[in-house]
Structure 1
């Protein structure tokens, strides 16, 4: 699953949970207009077990949301995208049907990562032949790194 899809699903779930909580609070307020809905102070004063549980839930929620934010910002990804390399890879793979997504990343001065995503009906042999024959050397030339080793990942989608 792609990261942006996961982020959108997570945001949608959080939004739905908040919406459901708001609707429940409005419905309860309409049924009992004189009763206080949230008297958390007296609840925590009467139930000593609830305080550590609430602290643990808050800590867990803070850790999960911090991790989610860091992944969404791209922390932990290696290298930086290069548009020139991606464009040259697109030119080298031009004419091949069902090429889904291409990406070129430079990981410092150590290596280059090339990612090619294909649809199920794509001609895998032709793609690999072009990558071996000319595409990677053209991409290296476009990013001015002739001797840089390249890691090529070819992903064939199931759907």
Structure 2
């Protein structure tokens, strides 16, 4: 399902009202690991200022990945432009470089991501879940950018 316009799903009214992202970011900045959440910092492609947002860090086959459940968000666009960023959990900051994966490399990663976080992000995947076929996951892949991270020592 490829469209001319990259897909982006805005947070719903309820999520915006309770400011869930802000609450998770508050906890993560204080060192509380909320199901693998980190605060992502990446330089804005227009402003040049550091921008932050909570993300779920996926570890799969010894590698670390960021998956964009809401699609082609601002953090995705900024990370594409910058190619690097930081992940924070409490006082621990990890600098990284990122490479965006092609769609054909995504099915196993999407399955692993949904297996862990479908309860939180499943609504953004249009019925695709951890038990979906590879074909269904491949069809969803263009709507969900994934970056492989190389953490700096």
What is the TM-score with the length of structure 2 in the denominator? 0.24
Instruction: Point out the structure with the larger helix share.
Output: 1
State the structure with bigger RCO (CA 8 A, min sep 6), 1 or 2: 2
User: Would you tell me which structure has more strand in proportion to its own residues?
Assistant: 2
TM-score of the superposed pair, with normalisation by structure 1: 0.23
Whose radius of gyration is greater, 1 or 2?
1
